[in-house]
Amino acid sequence: MTDLPEDPTVDELRVVLAPLVARNAAFDGWRDAAVVNAADQAGVDPAIAALAFSAGPIDMIDAWFAHVDVEMARQLPAEHLAAMKIRARITALVEARLAILAPDREALRRALTLLAMPQNLPRSVQLGWRAADAMWRCAGDTATDYNHYSKRAILGSVYAATLLTFIDDASEGHEETRAFLKRRIDGIMRFETVKARLLPAADQRLSLSRFIGRLRYPAV
């Protein structure tokens, strides 16, 4: 039986049950049966457990991926990442996620199949963005300008492609996935280097407010 508060909230139930639901989804699919079996393993009333995933399969997957976000941050705290270069941080964070997902690759395969359905694509994009955002925040990114969005969009696409490689990777230690990830992250780093050279420095970019101010108060 999993430790739970005496009167757990729905959110507390989701936290405890999500990884168990994923473990069962490998056999039962992302269906109610996975929740029932997870509830039995956690010593929770199945009727109450069902309330934690009332929105159905995508809600179950959402909770599982949220669990991965939390576990990734727990395994790689800021003080552990601080000594690494940014390339190493991102690589470590993606690989930590893969290690967390590895015991449940069949559940992941089924989850990605569901998320690829046309009706689920908006939610799929949302979950991919959330994963990329969690990784960049753990890596110490504090960008608030357009870089905030471009970094997450690029990492999200790399992570999605890496997952597709990962679910079919039969190599020892998932070496094929690691090599694929390295190539893609190398590509990101090259892009960032070129972008930094081509774009003007922040204090040299056109500022609408400065431009208007100069029109009103020309330099003398």
pLDDT digits (tens, 9 = 90+) for 124-181: 999 999 999 999 999 999 888 888 998 899 999 999 999 999 999 999 999 999 999 9
pLDDT value for 203: 46
Pick from 219, 69, 63: which is nearest to 138 by CA?
A: 69
Asked whether the predicted pLDDT for residue 214 surpasses 70, the reply is: no
In the predicted model, what is the mean pLDDT of residues 113-130?
97
Boundaries of domain holding 75: 57-202
Same domain, 1 and 102: no
Q: 77-95 pLDDT, tens per residue?
A: 999 999 999 999 999 999 9
Same domain, 3 and 67: no
CA distance 27 to 43: 20
- This prediction has a pTM of 0.84
Same domain, 37 and 83: no
CB atoms within 10 A of CB 45: 10
CA distance 59 to 114: 11
The mean-pLDDT minimum among 1-15, 35-49, 77-91, 162-176 falls in: 1-15
Asked whether the predicted pLDDT for residue 216 surpasses 90, the reply is: no
Asked whether the predicted pLDDT for residue 210 surpasses 70, the reply is: no
Q: Which amino acid is at 43?
A: G
Pick from 117, 118, 115: which is nearest to 131 by CA?
A: 115
- Domain harbouring 183, CATH code: 1.10.357.10
Query: What's the mean per-residue pLDDT of the chain?
Result: 88
209 in a structural domain: no
